[in-house]
Amino acid sequence: MRGAYCAALVFPARIPYNRAMSEHTSPTSAAPLAPATQQADADILILGAGPAGMLCALTAARRAKAAKVRKEILLVDQDRTPARKLRASGGGRSNCTNLNAAPEHYLSKNPRFTAQALKRLPPAEFLRLLEGLGLSAHEEDQGKMFCDQGAEALALALEKACRKAGCRFLLGRPVTGVVPPAEPGGLFRVDTAHGPLYAPRVALALGSPAWPALGGTDVVARLAGQLGLIHVPARPALTPLVLSGPEAALCRELTGLSVSARLSLDAASACGGVSIADSLLFTHQGLSGPAALRLSSYWRKGEAISIDLAPEADMPALLRQPGRGKALARTILSELMPRRLVEARLAELPPQFKARSIGDRRLAELSRADLDALAGIVGSWRVIPRTTAGMARAEAASGGLDVEAFSAKTMQCKAIPGLFALGEALDVAGDLGGFNLHWAWASGFAAGHAL
């Protein structure tokens, strides 16, 4: 998996996340704080019952039990069904972790922030935890681990384990605000659509705005403003690329076709030099599949993408193979990629080559310019996407609460003791392949130990 990455993929080396990109607002809530006599509703309020929130709750509950300490843990979620993204993950099969989980697979202002939590809960440890829930996983390509029992079973097992450990769930309760205590040791006030809740410790596990139909909201950005925390603006990540014009027509024609490809951004692009080799899927809207989804996390509007449709092949050498001079150019190209794609790309040849039907000529008859043109339609197809499918179809979002404000060991806010943030609520977005769920588990586990 590492091999699929180039060094340029690692933030912040090439991608300046400057302060101007971040929103910083001072606390604004004028509503009254918790009165001194206010009773707490729980010892720990975990806002968001997704994978990060649930693993955090389970870890905290098990630790409290082991220490023979009584801790009331209350998970609050807007939805009546917790963890809807987890239930949909991996197309229902849940790519629940990746054996290669390491900081270089994460986008963040500071990817090293993830290191301690990933070390504390490495993939092997998570798999043991999964076993403890009565579940198992198997490896597919590049370290991707899929839950044998499926995504729904994983979400249900986690919820059941939380309840068994004594955690309570308050569902159908959208959170609208969080007000820190006026004094150390006081109570946080959490505003919900059905009135306030109070607790001395609060964990923000409210995810990102990605895929709103599965519960993604921008509430974390709003809470950041209220709490005076920097929020790196959210951008859709792992989302399909939308093409227009003749390129869109070509993709429509090839809908459903999947090929191996390398997608690269120009060196001069905002994330210069990013290059990803993976499978590419043609859709009625443009490009999807792992290669396009992964590149979308780096692509900026207006930038061109260069696509190599035969990344393993040495095209010049292939077209000049000794002993194959009698082979038709079209035949050689069809050895590299599906016939439908060969025809579609031949149709895109510049008029001077198309007029001479170079696809139907024998290799020996072709000039150097002809061979270069053929190599070009395979190795450097340039497209400028019109846009991406945006948050609506994003499997994750980059951006979130600036990690510099939080402890990398405990996920606790340095300026507001008792406040924790985990999962996608933080400015951490993983690559495709189980890295996002692994971050949810690892950050939830770290916070659960400290809460």
Q: Do 196 and 177 contact (CB within 8 A), yes or no?
A: no
Instruction: Verify cis geometry, omega within 30 degrees of 0, for the bond prior to 12.
Output: yes
Identity of the residue, 358 or 391, whose beta carbon is nearer to ligand FAD in the bound complex = 391
One-letter amino acid at 132 equals: G
Query: What strands, in cross-sheet order, belong to the sheet with 137-139?
Result: 95-98, 144-147, 137-139
- In terms of C-beta density within 10 A (0-12 exposed, 13-18 middle, 19 or more buried), how is residue 390 classed? middle
Identity of the residue, 76 or 332, whose beta carbon is nearer to ligand FAD in the bound complex = 76
Q: Which residue in the set 10, 44, 48, 75 belongs to the binding site for ligand FAD (CB under 6 A)?
A: 48
The long-range contacts involving 192-198, CB below 8 angstroms and separated by at least 24 positions, are 192/76, 197/41, 197/42, 197/45, 197/74, 197/76, 197/170, 198/34, 198/38, 198/39, 198/40, 198/41
Identity of the residue, 50 or 418, whose beta carbon is nearer to ligand FAD in the bound complex = 50
Q: Does residue 150 bind ligand FAD (CB under 6 A)?
A: no
Distant-in-sequence, close-in-space partners of 159: CB < 8 Å, separation ≥ 6: 49, 54, 82, 83, 169
Q: Does residue 78 bind ligand FAD (CB under 6 A)?
A: yes
Q: Which residue in the set 1, 46, 75, 88 belongs to the binding site for ligand FAD (CB under 6 A)?
A: 88
Identity of the residue, 264 or 288, whose beta carbon is nearer to ligand FAD in the bound complex = 288
Identity of the residue, 50 or 286, whose beta carbon is nearer to ligand FAD in the bound complex = 50
Q: Does residue 53 bind ligand FAD (CB under 6 A)?
A: yes
Identity of the residue, 114 or 264, whose beta carbon is nearer to ligand FAD in the bound complex = 114
* Alpha-carbon 159 to chain mean position: 23
Binding to ligand FAD (CB under 6 A): which residues in 191-220? 205-207, 210-211, 214-215, 217, 219
Could you tell me the smallest distance in angstroms from the CB atom of residue 281 to ligand FAD? 15
Identity of the residue, 110 or 398, whose beta carbon is nearer to ligand FAD in the bound complex = 398
* Alpha-carbon 169 to chain mean position: 26
Q: Does residue 282 bind ligand FAD (CB under 6 A)?
A: no
Q: Does residue 82 bind ligand FAD (CB under 6 A)?
A: yes
Q: Does residue 397 bind ligand FAD (CB under 6 A)?
A: no
Identity of the residue, 175 or 333, whose beta carbon is nearer to ligand FAD in the bound complex = 175
Could you tell me the smallest distance in angstroms from the CB atom of residue 125 to ligand FAD? 16
Could you tell me the smallest distance in angstroms from the CB atom of residue 305 to ligand FAD? 23
d(CA 267, CA 264): 9
Binding to ligand FAD (CB under 6 A): which residues in 423-442? 423-425, 434-437, 440
Q: Does residue 175 bind ligand FAD (CB under 6 A)?
A: yes
Residues interacting with ligand FAD, by CB under 6 A?
48-53, 76-79, 82-83, 85-86, 88-90, 94-95, 174-175, 205-207, 210-211, 214-215, 217, 219, 395-396, 423-425, 434-437, 440
